[in-house]
Amino acid sequence: MATITVTAKDSTSAMEDVFEQLGEDAYIIETTKKNGKVSMQATNDSLILKENNRPSVKKFSKIFDSKLIDQIPAPKKAFAEIISTEDILSQKSSSSVSKDDFETLRTEILSIRSMLSGLMITNPEGLDFELGHSLPVQLMQSGFSSELIGSFSSNLNELDEEKGRFSFLRSLSRKLVAPFAENVYDARIISLIGGSGSGKTTLAAKIATCCAETAKFQKPVLVSVTETATKSTDDLKAFGRLLNMPVKQVAIGSLSSILKQKDTQFILDISSEAKKTIETLLKASELFSPTEFKIVQTLPGNYNKQMIIHQTSLYDSLEPLVALTKLDECELSPVELSALVSAKAQIALLTGTKSIVGALAIASEAILSQYLKENC
């Protein structure tokens, strides 16, 4: 029978020393901490244990291990395993909470987000009843970025609200419209790039129709440019039959070989990975003059701010013109327009999706400012 005192860096190490010296029947008499170390007094003397009526270290360690120490922490769920609100809503009886409750919660969150987007923080001396009615604040609450509004602030202060708003939208249009956008049809090679589903194929057919009307070249050739020459081009072939225009299919690695036909105008619908597309078009741009070779990136009206930033940054080395597509399905909001300005986008074409003939407009300051006035 013995009583010992051990010192260790923590309680676990101290108890291990106690068990090694006294065995698993040892009991803790006192535990103190001094100078960052744990001092533990223990015994296996049955008389002392009976006198003090202390519980055994063995029983305490079992409770401690089972309830307080998680020896093997539960693995974190993978992102794909996390149940989203939509997943819960799709389950018929996942919990006692109804779908209406989730919809109400979603509506409230959207309402709060909308209010926060128009929130402005100012010092007490900046509080003014007229502040909330000023045009810069109204534009910011509409969704335009503060940086964008600040760049035109000098013009806004000198005009009344209606004229100031139109002046702002006109200045914004002037900043977004590509110079000499009307010359895009005069290019012999027009390359269309963009994400899947962004409207490249439909836009290719519309551009080909407009180019055929100018009659500067022979009948335009629609070209589907893919990773390999065996990929399907059914949509482009259907447009070709509808417009009575030839359609070719070529692998992106063999693109340069067909572009050397000087008297033929090519409309390229490129569906390849971004890296290979950029490499190919940069090499092609060195072979042809800027007036002969144009690159147009499609950005649909249903893209949000994050998608616009991602897509424009993806192809920024090509410095493409921009075609805003699907505008009859979804209007661009001030948030997305601010993202376009930040990305230094140069808009050349405006189009919808419901018609091939007569549904493509060259971007101009007047047309774009009218569109912004109606939708922003």
- The SS3 of residue 23 is coil
Looking at the DSSP bridge assignments, the partners of residue 38 are 8, 33
Give residue 126's pLDDT: 52
Q: Which CATH number fits domain 181-375: 3.40.50.300, 3.40.1390.10, 2.40.50.100, 3.30.70.2970?
A: 3.40.50.300
Report the alpha-carbon distance of residue 269 to residue 223 in Å, rounded.
Answer: 6
What letter does residue 177 receive in the DSSP assignment? B
Is residue 327 within 8 A of residue 354, CB to CB? The reply is no
Residue with tokens 């109400």: 104
With a CB cutoff of 8 Å and minimum separation 6, the contacts of 285 are 293, 295, 318
Residue 118: CB atoms within 10 A of its CB come to 13
Type of residue at 289: S
- The SS3 of residue 153 is helix
Is residue 38 within 8 A of residue 31, CB to CB? The reply is yes
Give residue-wise pLDDT tens across range 193-242: 999 889 999 999 999 988 888 777 778 999 999 988 776 677 888 888 88
Report the alpha-carbon distance of residue 215 to residue 218 in Å, rounded.
Answer: 7
Where in the chain are the domains?
3-68, 128-170, 181-375
Give residue 52's pLDDT: 54
- The SS3 of residue 83 is coil
Residue with tokens 């072979």: 287
Return the H-helix or E-strand segment holding 142. Answer: helix 135-142
Give residue 224's pLDDT: 92
For residue 267, give both structure tokens. 């409309």
Report the alpha-carbon distance of residue 272 to residue 278 in Å, rounded.
Answer: 10
Type of residue at 68: L
Is residue 322 within 8 A of residue 178, CB to CB? The reply is yes
Give residue 3's pLDDT: 80
Half-sphere exposure (Cβ direction) of 346: Cα atoms closer than 13 Å: 15
Angle at 273 between CA 330 and CA 242, to 5 degrees: 55
Residue 21: CB atoms within 10 A of its CB come to 13
Report the alpha-carbon distance of residue 79 to residue 340 in Å, rounded.
Answer: 31
Report the alpha-carbon distance of residue 45 to residue 22 in Å, rounded.
Answer: 10
pLDDT in tens, the chain (376 residues): 578 888 888 777 788 888 788 877 777 778 887 777 888 888 876 655 555 554 444 444 454 444 444 445 555 555 444 445 555 555 544 455 567 777 788 888 877 776 665 555 555 445 454 555 577 777 777 778 878 877 766 666 566 677 888 888 888 888 899 998 889 999 999 999 999 889 999 999 999 988 888 777 778 999 999 988 776 677 888 888 888 899 999 999 888 888 878 888 999 999 989 999 999 999 988 889 999 999 999 999 889 899 999 999 999 999 999 999 988 887 788 889 899 999 999 999 998 876 655 578 898 888 888 888 887 7
For residue 273, give both structure tokens. 């990975």
Give residue 340's pLDDT: 92
Report the alpha-carbon distance of residue 349 to residue 193 in Å, rounded.
Answer: 14
Return the H-helix or E-strand segment holding 249. Answer: strand 247-251
